[in-house]
Amino acid sequence: MSNSQHGFATRAIHAGQEPETTTGAVNVPIYLTSTYAQQEIGKNKGYEYSRVSNPTRTALEQNLAALEGGSSAHVFASGMAAISALVAMLKTGDHVICGSNVYGGTPRLFNQIVAHYGIEFTYVDTSDPENVRRAFTPRTRLVHIETPTNPLMQLTDIRAVSAVCREQTKRVGEPVDLCVDNTFMSPYFQRPIELGADLVMHSTTKFLNGHSDGLGGVLVATRPDHAERFAFIQKCTGGILSPFESYLILRGVKTLAVRMRQHDASGREVAAWLAKHSRVEKVFYPGLPTHPQHELAKRQMSGFGALITFEAGSLERANDVLKRVRVCTLGESLGGVETLISHPATMTHAALGEEGRRKIGITDGMVRISVGIEDVEDLIGDLEQALA
């Protein structure tokens, strides 16, 4: 049993996860069923067909809504499927303002698919809320941001951008919603709804699941009209999360609090160590006092997390480090218990092209680390020999 008064770790373990009524099983069963027996025409036990809803998925959706402080949550087959559902609530002629430095797959979806349906996108540096204000048009319906950004760890003041959206809502008489992709921080360290966001999105593939063994995405909403719309989109488009993957995330979330505490402690240690290393030219980590938005980071987040980017100096030097690591794994993604190390220019941000990367400041020498929860001495030892 849990309620909204309980602490984060209690809600992570119990919200949406009452012991099962037939046997008392403490874990939510994986309901492997596509359909449900009905008692008579129009009479059922709350479930009709698993594209519409499934009890394992319901448990996860209740759990994630409780963790983000939203009124509902809807889960999808991946983070990108969740972002697709987010923009599926828009109409031809609507306008979206998106952070210029968000996950590369997001502008790829917007520009190469959604724009064909007559929805317009403007990309701005949302670290200055005035850029958002200047980009509004009377048809703006959505502002989509990521904070911190990948890989430059730039922050956006969620409260300030939310205030700008509220003003615009009043001006045009139509909701201008703020959606925050909270993948990097998880609700353990950052809760955008408490700061005024209308919607929160996650690639649950990352910290929420935490074990690099399944994809998923979620949209957390604060208003009934959004909840209705997202449920309708799940039913119509079918890009929902499977019962098995819903279970994996439920299981992952149970340890979110302890994992995030360790990610954060090790993240701080690795970042401080890198910052002192003679072969590292620059470290991007909001927890370092040298980060230009360190004060905002302390205000808006309750930890600094596990993502660190550093400048190795050149493509060759970056490749040297990436070839030599033994404990860290070279690979895309982040947020797992294992430390992943990657090269933004040729991996996550390859699709932007050289010019696109140059514009936002991503160099060929940048290396990004998602610090896992291994012994931090082993991680530092590994980086030491790789940088030597």
Ligand X SMILES: Cc1ncc(COP(=O)(O)O)c(C=O)c1O
Q: Considering 51, 159, 166, 282, which one is annotated as catalytic?
A: 51
Q: Which is nearer to ligand X, 146 or 264 (CB)?
A: 146
Reference 234, options 113, 111, 67, 73; nearest CA is: 73
**In which residue are the tokens 């990004």 written?**
368
Q: Which is nearer to ligand X, 68 or 382 (CB)?
A: 68
d(CA 220, CA 112): 25
CB 331 to ligand X: min, Å: 11
**In which residue are the tokens 């983070």 written?**
79
Q: Are 75 and 121 in contact (CB under 8 A)?
A: no
Torsion angle, CA of 306/307/312/313, rounded to 10 degrees?
-150
The binding site for ligand X (CB under 6 A) comprises: 78-80, 103, 105, 146, 150, 181, 183, 203, 205, 215, 217
Q: Which is nearer to ligand X, 72 or 149 (CB)?
A: 149
CB 270 to ligand X: min, Å: 19
CB 309 to ligand X: min, Å: 13
d(CA 266, CA 371): 7
The one-letter amino acid at 71:
S
SS3 category, 337: coil
Around 165, how many Cα atoms within 13 Å sit in the side-chain half-sphere? Answer: 27
Q: Considering 11, 141, 206, 317, which one is annotated as catalytic?
A: 206
Q: Say which DSSP state 82 is in.
A: H
CB 137 to ligand X: min, Å: 25
Q: Considering 94, 177, 181, 382, which one is annotated as catalytic?
A: 181
Q: Which is nearer to ligand X, 53 or 333 (CB)?
A: 333
CB 202 to ligand X: min, Å: 8
Q: Is 103 a residue of the active site?
A: yes
Residue at shortest CB range from ligand X: 79
Q: Is 45 a residue of the active site?
A: no
Inter-CA distances, 254 with 121, 174, 250, Å: 37, 38, 7
Q: Which is nearer to ligand X, 239 or 303 (CB)?
A: 239
d(CA 81, CA 216): 8
Q: Considering 31, 57, 94, 103, which one is annotated as catalytic?
A: 103
d(CA 201, CA 180): 6
Which residues are known catalytic residues?
A: 51, 103, 181, 206
